[in-house]
């Protein structure tokens, strides 16, 4: 589990196809190498990946993770190339502050940025979600975009908007988003379970 609060912006340093439908990613980060145990879960742009190897290169820590066919299919991972910055978050520990919302790292689909507006003290992003996920997105509810916990501002059909403060734009990759950009979208866990309960009643 994660909270959607990014703790580092890493960099893709290598993408290697290991077999059909399986990619090995090498990701540089600022985490101490000793703190990344083999098998540790790390959210990479909102996608929960398992660290299978670690090392050091050029004064930086790196970890390797494998992305399977399903991950490559429903997330942006399949488009990642060397040099791409990605939001990183270590898994939640019991007793940690829950500053965002509960995020599983199980991306539901891809949302597309349709507008970006600069307001006085915030930036407003308007996005279009896959139609099948739209019912899980509600005003004042939560979503995770590329692993960043955000509060939904407005909803209209399969379109929704979020307001982002300057600090978040500075310490995550969201500051570089523009119209046409795609992001990993995870809807709120509570909304998903509530909808499922309603279906089975």
Same domain, 63 and 113: no
Q: Is residue 103 domain-resident? A: no
Strands 8-19, 22-29: pairing kind: antiparallel
Same domain, 145 and 196: yes
Q: Is residue 101 domain-resident? A: no
Domain span at 13: 8-90
For residue 165, what is the domain's CATH number? 2.40.30.20
β-sheet bridge partners, residue 185: 109, 145
Residue 94 confidence (pLDDT)? 78
Residue 165 confidence (pLDDT)? 95
Q: Is residue 1 domain-resident? A: no
Which residue is associated with the tokens 């992003």?
A: 125
Residue 21 confidence (pLDDT)? 80
Same domain, 141 and 183: yes
List, for the chain, all residue ranges whose pLDDT scores fall below the cut of 50: none
- Are 54 and 64 in contact by the 8 Å Cβ rule? The answer is yes
Number of domains in the chain: 2
Residue 105 confidence (pLDDT)? 94
Same domain, 115 and 196: yes
- CA separation, residue 18 to residues 22, 23, 69 (Å): 6, 6, 11
CA dihedral 10, 191, 93, 49 (to 10 degrees): -40
Q: Is residue 136 domain-resident? A: yes
Residue 32 confidence (pLDDT)? 96
- DSSP-derived 3-state class of residue 133: helix
pLDDT of 136-177, one tens digit each?
999 999 999 999 999 999 999 999 999 999 999 999 999 999
């Amino acid at each position: 589990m994660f909270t959607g609060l990014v703790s580092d912006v890493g960099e893709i340093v290598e993408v290697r196809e290991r077999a059909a439908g399986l990619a090995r990613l090498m990701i540089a980060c600022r985490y101490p190498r000793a703190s990344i145990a083999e098998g540790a879960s790390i959210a990479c742009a909102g996608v929960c990946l398992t660290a299978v190897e670690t090392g050091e290169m050029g004064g930086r820590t790196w970890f390797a993770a494998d992305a399977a066919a399903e991950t490559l299919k429903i997330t942006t991972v399949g488009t990642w190339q060397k040099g791409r910055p990605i939001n990183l978050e270590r898994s939640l520990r019991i007793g940690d502050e829950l500053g965002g919302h509960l995020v599983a790292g199980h991306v539901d689909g891809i949302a597309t940025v349709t507008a970006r507006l600069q307001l006085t003290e915030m930036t407003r992003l308007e996005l279009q979600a896959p139609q099948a996920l739209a019912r899980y997105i509600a005003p004042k509810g939560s979503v995770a975009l590329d692993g960043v916990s955000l509060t939904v501002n407005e909803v209209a059909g399969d379109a929704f908007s979020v307001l982002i403060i300057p600090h978040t734009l500075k310490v995550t990759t969201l500051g570089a988003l523009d119209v046409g950009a795609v992001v990993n979208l995870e809807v709120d866990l509570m909304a998903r379970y509530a909808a499922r309960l309603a279906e089975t009643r």
